[in-house]
Structure 1
Amino acid sequence: MSASAQDFRPDIEGLRAVAVAGVVAYHFGLKALPGGFVGVDIFFVISGYLITRHLVAEISETGRLDLLRFYARRARRLLPAALFVIAATLAAGALILSPEEQALYSKGAMFASAYMINLWLIRWSFDYFANDATSNPFIHYWSLSVEEQFYLAWPALLMLAARLERFAVSRKRRTAPAFRFDAIPDGKPLHTFPGIALKPGKRAIIVAIGVVGLVSFILCAWLTSVSQPWAFYFSPLRAWEFAAGGLTSMAPARLLQTRPLLGRALSLTGLTMIGTAYLTFSEDAPFPGFLALLPVAGTVLLLKAGAAGARDGYSPNSGRNWVNAALALPPLQWTGRLSYSIYLWHWPVIVYAGMLAPELTPIERLCCLALTLALSALTYHLIENPIRRNGWLTANAARALVPALLLTGTGVAAAYGNARLAVRDLDPQQRIIAASAAEPSTARARAGCVQDYETVTPAPCVFGDGRRVIALFGDSHADHWSTPLIEAGRKNGYRVVTWLKNSCRASRISVWSAELKRPYAECDRWREQAIAGIIEARPALVVISELALASGRKMAGRGGDTARQDAEWRAGLRSTLTSLSKAGLKVAFIRDVPFNNANVDTCVARALWRDEAPSRCDQTRAYAANDAMAAVERDIVDSIPNAAYVDLTDRFCNATVCHAFIDGKLAFRDQHHMATPFAESLEPEVEKRVISKVGR
C-alpha cells in the first residue's frame, strides 16, 4: 500500500529491499543464503502492517470503508505489471519450451492471472509424478495469490469487528450514534488496555486480528508436520503473518520514542533474527510452522522500532536508530521501489536461463541478475508507476476496476488459449512422448496400490489369478517394474501381489522425507508390517527394487555424512534380505535404473521440437549408473542365502553412455522412473532373468 507523503516510511522501503534480495539470492543459487526464501514472509508482515494501518485510519476518520476505492488502488498497483510479466513469460516460453511444457505452464499462467495459483500448487504438490516445480516459470506467483486473497478478506474482517463492537456499545447505551470512532461520549476513550487508550471499535479490531492470527498459526504449525503443502500455500494458514503486521501497526510507539536505546536494540535484534533465518534455514526445514516465527518476529521488531524514529526522517546522523536509518540509504530505497517488479521478473529469468544453459556459471548468474534489474526498472517506470498514478484512473474507482476485471479475464483467456494452441499441431512422435510420460505403471494405475506418504498399514494389491505368488516389494522404483513383472507372471502361471509405498525403500534405513519435511516414520512402520505380511503370505518369490542411495543423494543435491549413510544402507539392506531369507523365501533384487540429471521426457521433447537428436539427453555411465555402489550392493545380495542379484543395466547403457531414447521409445518419464511403454518392452528380459532364472 503506497503511503501518503507524510506517512512514507523509507525504512520500510529498505526492508522490502532486504526481503526481495533474500528471495533472489535463494532462487539464483547463492549457497551463502540458503534461507533467503523467508523474504516472502517479510513481505507478508509488511503488507499486514501497511494495509491494517491504512484501513484502521479510514475507519477512524469516516466510520466506514470505501471498498471499491480500496480494490481499485490494489488493482492499479499490482495487476498491470503482473499481467505484463505473465504475457512476456508466455511469449518467451513459445521460443524456449516444448509444446507439452507450454501447455502445462500455460495452465499455471491461467491460475496466476486469476490469483489462484497457490491452490493449484497444493494439488501439484501431492502428485508424486508432477513435473519439477523448479522448472515452472509461474510458481512464484503463489505469494501474490496469497496476498490478493488476504486483500479480499481483511477489510471485511476489520469492518465487521468494528461494527459489532459499536453496535454492542450503542445497544448498551440505548442510543445509535453515527459510526465514528471520534464520536465518543464526554470526549473520553471508552476502553483502555494498560497504558493504551482505545476508541470504540479499535479494541474489537485488535481482538479479531489476534484471534484470527492465533488460530491461523496453530493450524499452520500443526499442518507443517502433517501436510506441509497446505501449510505453505493455503492463504488462511499464512494469515497469522499478516496479522502479526496488523497488530504491530496498532501497537503504541510512545515508549520507544522516549527510549531511543531500546529502539536501536529492538531494530538490531530484528535484523539479526532475519539474518539468522537467511543464513541457517534451508528448503529441507519444516517450514513455515514454528520456524517462520523467527523472520516474522524480526520484521515486527524492525517495523515497530522504525515507527518510533519516523519523526526524525531516519537521518544517519540523528543518533536515534542507525539500523532503520541504514535501511533508508539510497541503494536500498532504489531496490525497495523496484522490489515488486524484481520479484515478478527474477524467477522466469533464472528458470529460462537454466533451461538454455543447465550449468550456469557465476558470471552467467550475474548477467541474469543484471537482466532482471533492467527489466524491473523498465516495468516500474513504463507500466507499474505510470498506471498506479494515472490521474484519469485515480479519479474514479470504476475507471480502475472495470479495466482490471477485463485485464484479468483477458489474461486467463490468453493463457488458456495458449495451452490449447501449444499442443494443437503436435507431430505423432511428440504425442507418443507425451503419452509415454503420462502413462502410469500397471500397479499405480489401480488406485491405492502405491500407498501415499501418510499411510502406515500395507494394502497389498493382487494382479492375475495364477496359483503361485510373486511379491513385489519396495518404493516407486519397485513399482515401475510392476508392468513387465505382472505380464511375465501371467504368462508363467503367477499372480503378482504388490507391497509398494512412495519413497519407502525395502531396506531397513530411516530417511528424511523432503515432501513431509521431517523424518519419514510412516515408512519405518509400514516397512515392518510389509515384511511381516510377506513372510506370512509365503510367496514363491519376492522381487525387490528401490531407489539407489547414490541417486537419492543426487536428487537431494547434498552429500552429508556419506560414510555413515553408506554404513546404514548396507546394514539396512542386509537386515531386510536376511529376514526374508531366514523365512525360507527366495528373493530377486533388481538393480536400480540409471539416474539422469534432468527430466528425460522434457529433454527429449525439446530435442525433437528443435529437430535435434534425442541422444543430446543421454548421460555418461559414470554419472548415471554408479557401478561402484552397485558392486557393493551385489556383494551384499550374493552373500545372503536364497537371494539373487538381477542387473538389467545393459538394457539402458553401453560401456560409456546411458541412453534416454531406446529403440524408438522414451526410456524415462522423469529423472529416474521408467516410462511405462519402455518398461513393457522389458517383459521378455524380466521373464528370462527374474522368473525363469530365479523364481523356479
Structure 2
Amino acid sequence: MPALDGVRAIGILLVFVHHMITPVAFGGHVGVDVFFVLSGYLITDILLRERKAHGGIRLKRFYFRRAARLYPALLVVVAALLIPGALFAPSLGKYLLENVLAVTYTTPLALEISGGAAWAWRHTWSLGIEEMFYLVWPLLLMLVLGRGRAQGHLAGFAVGGGLALLLASVALEVAGQPGSLLLRSGGLFLGCALAIFLGRKQQVNVPAIAAWSGLALIGASVAGATIFHPASAAPVLMTGVGSVVIIAHLVQNRGGVLAGILGWAPLAYLGRISYELYLWHYPLLIILAWAFDADPIAVAWIAAPMSIGLAAVTHAFLAPRVERLKARVSG
C-alpha cells in the first residue's frame, strides 16, 4: 500500500529533521513511535495471513525473512562507516563497542545501563527494541491463535499492555523519575492489537475525519515535544494513538483522499527507503560533526543530501537481492 509507505515517510521525516537541526529543539523524535505502531501492525498482519494461508506460523521462515530484510543494509552501513568513524571518534574503543551493539541489536540495553551517552549509533535503540519484541511476539501468537475467543483476549491484552507501558512512561516523567526507552515499545503492542482486531472484523469503518484527527494529533505531539522538551512521554502516547487511527482508516479506505495524499509517489518512495535512510543519516551526521568539531546542525547541509543519496543507492542495490533471498526461503 503506497499510503502506508507515506506513513513511513512521515516517521522518517520527523526523525530526520529532529537529528539534523540538533541542538535546536524539535519534537520529531516521536516519528520513531509512528514506526513502532506501523511495524507492529504490518508484522502481525503478515503472521495472521500466513496462519490463514498455511494453517500455522513457520517460525524459522519468519526469523530468516526478518534477518534478510534488516541485516544486509545494517551491515553495509556499519562497514562503510567503520573507518571514518574510527578516525574521528573521540574514543576509538567506545566507537567500536557501539558498532558491536548496533549489529547485535543490544543498543537499547546499553543505553539503559550507560545513562544515554551521545553515540553515533544510539539511534539503533529502536531497532533493538523491535527485534527483541519480535523474538517473543510470534511465539505468543502461536500459543494463542486457534483458541476461539483467545484471539480477542490477545487483542485486549495488546491494547492494555501497550497503553500501560506508555502511561507508565508518563507517570515516571510526572514523578520526576528517569524514563526508559523500553517503555516506548507500547507502540508496537498497539499496532499488533490493531492487526488482530482488523483480522477478526470483516468491516471496520474508521471515518476520514478520525484519520485527519489522528494526523492532527501527531502534529500536536510534535509541537508538544518541541515546546516541553525534554518532557515527551505524553507526546509519545499521543503519537501512538494517532498512528493507530490513521492506519486503521487507510487499510479500510484505500481510495480515500488521505490515502491519495500519503500515496503520492515521491512521499511513498521516501517511505520505501526509510529504513536505509534511518541507518545512514544519524551516524553520518555525528561523524561529520566529530570531523569538523561542530554541532550537527552546522554539518547538516552535507549530511542530509549525502544520507538521502546513500540511502537511495543502498536500497536500489539491496532491495531486489533481499526480495530474491526472501522468496527463496518462502519457496
What TM-score does the superposition give when structure 1 sets the normalisation length?
0.44
- Structure 1 Cα separation of the partners of residues 141 and 185 of structure 2: 14
- Structure 2 Cα separation of the partners of residues 220 and 360 of structure 1: 29
- 1:269 maps to 2:219: no
Find the partner of 1:77 among 69, 84, 102: 69
Find the partner of 1:394 among 294, 309, 327: 327
Q: Sequence identity, in percent?
A: 29
Contact 1:15 1:327 in 2 (8 A): yes
Residue 103 of structure 1 corresponds to which residue in structure 2?
93
Contact 2:5 2:271 in 1 (8 A): yes
Q: Which amino acid aligns with 1:149?
A: M
Contact 1:161 1:208 in 2 (8 A): no
- Structure 1 Cα separation of the partners of residues 22 and 14 of structure 2: 9
1:142-182 deviation per Cα after TM superposition (whole angstroms, max 9, x unaligned) = 1000011111111111121225xx2xxxxxxxxxxxxxxxx
- Structure 1 Cα separation of the partners of residues 208 and 125 of structure 2: 34
TM-aligned CA distance change 1:40 to 1:357, over 3 Å: same
C-alpha root-mean-square deviation of aligned residues, in Å?
Answer: 2.5
1:236-264 deviation per Cα after TM superposition (whole angstroms, max 9, x unaligned) = x23321111122222347352xxxxx622
Residue 259 of structure 2 corresponds to which residue in structure 1?
324
TM-aligned CA distance change 1:207 to 1:294, over 3 Å: closer
Cα distance, 1:219 vs. partner? 3.6
- Structure 1 Cα separation of the partners of residues 130 and 47 of structure 2: 16
Taking the TM superposition and a 5 Å limit, the aligned residue runs for 1:257-296 are: 263-282=207-226, 284-288=229-233, 290-296=234-240
Q: Which amino acid aligns with 1:122?
A: E
Find the partner of 1:241 among 180, 187, 197: 187
Residue 28 of structure 1 corresponds to which residue in structure 2?
20
Contact 2:120 2:282 in 1 (8 A): yes
1:431-468 deviation per Cα after TM superposition (whole angstroms, max 9, x unaligned) = xxxxxxxxxxxxxxxxxxxxxxxxxxxxxxxxxxxxxx
Question: Number of aligned pairs?
Answer: 326
Contact 1:32 1:279 in 2 (8 A): no
- Structure 2 Cα separation of the partners of residues 253 and 269 of structure 1: 24
- Structure 1 Cα separation of the partners of residues 113 and 14 of structure 2: 27
- Structure 2 Cα separation of the partners of residues 279 and 205 of structure 1: 34
SS at match of 1:228: coil
In the alignment, structure 2 segments of 5+ residues that lack a partner are none
- Structure 1 Cα separation of the partners of residues 24 and 231 of structure 2: 20
- Structure 1 Cα separation of the partners of residues 25 and 10 of structure 2: 12
Cα distance, 1:53 vs. partner? 1.2
Q: Which amino acid aligns with 2:328?
A: A
Cα distance, 1:359 vs. partner? 4.2
TM-aligned CA distance change 1:338 to 1:295, over 3 Å: same
Find the partner of 1:369 among 288, 304, 313: 304
What TM-score does the superposition give when structure 2 sets the normalisation length?
0.89
1:196-243 deviation per Cα after TM superposition (whole angstroms, max 9, x unaligned) = xxx6553233233234334434543344445434x22x2xx2332111
Contact 2:158 2:193 in 1 (8 A): yes
TM-aligned CA distance change 1:95 to 1:158, over 3 Å: same
TM-aligned CA distance change 1:207 to 1:263, over 3 Å: closer
- Structure 2 Cα separation of the partners of residues 20 and 272 of structure 1: 17
SS at match of 2:213: helix
- Structure 1 Cα separation of the partners of residues 157 and 140 of structure 2: 8
SS at match of 2:122: coil
TM-aligned CA distance change 1:215 to 1:301, over 3 Å: closer
- Structure 2 Cα separation of the partners of residues 379 and 102 of structure 1: 26
Contact 1:157 1:208 in 2 (8 A): no
TM-aligned CA distance change 1:138 to 1:362, over 3 Å: closer
- Structure 2 Cα separation of the partners of residues 78 and 361 of structure 1: 26
Q: Which moved more, 1:373-382 or 1:361-370?
A: 361-370
- 1:352 maps to 2:296: no
1:479-530 deviation per Cα after TM superposition (whole angstroms, max 9, x unaligned) = xxxxxxxxxxxxxxxxxxxxxxxxxxxxxxxxxxxxxxxxxxxxxxxxxxxx
Taking the TM superposition and a 5 Å limit, the aligned residue runs for 1:225-624 are: 225=175, 227-229=177-179, 231-232=180-181, 234=182, 237-249=183-195, 250-251=197-198, 252=201, 254-256=203-205, 263-282=207-226, 284-288=229-233, 290-310=234-254, 312=255, 321-359=256-294, 364-383=299-318, 385-391=319-325, 394-396=327-329
Contact 1:20 1:39 in 2 (8 A): yes
Residue 152 of structure 1 corresponds to which residue in structure 2?
135
Contact 1:162 1:200 in 2 (8 A): no
Cα distance, 1:80 vs. partner? 0.9
Contact 2:65 2:329 in 1 (8 A): no
1:282-314 deviation per Cα after TM superposition (whole angstroms, max 9, x unaligned) = 3733333x332211111111101111212x3xx
TM-aligned CA distance change 1:367 to 1:140, over 3 Å: same
Instruction: Name the structure with the higher helix share.
Output: 2
Contact 1:267 1:302 in 2 (8 A): yes
SS at match of 1:254: coil
SS at match of 1:240: helix
Find the partner of 1:138 among 121, 129, 132: 121
Q: Which amino acid aligns with 1:48?
A: G
Structure of greater relative contact order (alpha carbons < 8 Å, 6+ residues apart): 2
Q: Which amino acid aligns with 1:292?
A: V
Cα distance, 1:361 vs. partner? 9.3
- Structure 1 Cα separation of the partners of residues 202 and 285 of structure 2: 42
Q: Which moved more, 1:103-112 or 1:359-368?
A: 359-368
Residue 48 of structure 1 corresponds to which residue in structure 2?
40
- Structure 2 Cα separation of the partners of residues 97 and 243 of structure 1: 36
TM-aligned CA distance change 1:396 to 1:42, over 3 Å: same
Q: Which amino acid aligns with 2:27?
A: G
- Structure 1 Cα separation of the partners of residues 240 and 3 of structure 2: 16
Q: Which amino acid aligns with 2:252?
A: A
Cα distance, 1:18 vs. partner? 0.7
Contact 2:108 2:129 in 1 (8 A): yes
Contact 2:250 2:259 in 1 (8 A): yes
- Structure 2 Cα separation of the partners of residues 29 and 156 of structure 1: 41
- Structure 2 Cα separation of the partners of residues 350 and 18 of structure 1: 20
Cα distance, 1:121 vs. partner? 0.6
TM-aligned CA distance change 1:364 to 1:226, over 3 Å: closer
1:346-405 deviation per Cα after TM superposition (whole angstroms, max 9, x unaligned) = 00111112122344697852332110011101111123x1332125x63237x9xxxxxx
In the alignment, structure 1 segments of 5+ residues that lack a partner are 1-8, 127-131, 167-198, 257-261, 313-320, 400-696
- Structure 2 Cα separation of the partners of residues 367 and 21 of structure 1: 17
TM-aligned CA distance change 1:293 to 1:360, over 3 Å: closer
Q: Which amino acid aligns with 1:370?
A: P
Cα distance, 1:116 vs. partner? 0.8
Contact 1:244 1:300 in 2 (8 A): yes
Find the partner of 1:62 among 54, 57, 75: 54
1:23-64 deviation per Cα after TM superposition (whole angstroms, max 9, x unaligned) = 010100178871100000000000111111111222333332
Instruction: Name the structure with the higher strand share.
Output: 1
Residue 92 of structure 1 corresponds to which residue in structure 2?
84
- Structure 1 Cα separation of the partners of residues 113 and 297 of structure 2: 34
- 1:13 maps to 2:8: no
- Structure 1 Cα separation of the partners of residues 134 and 296 of structure 2: 40
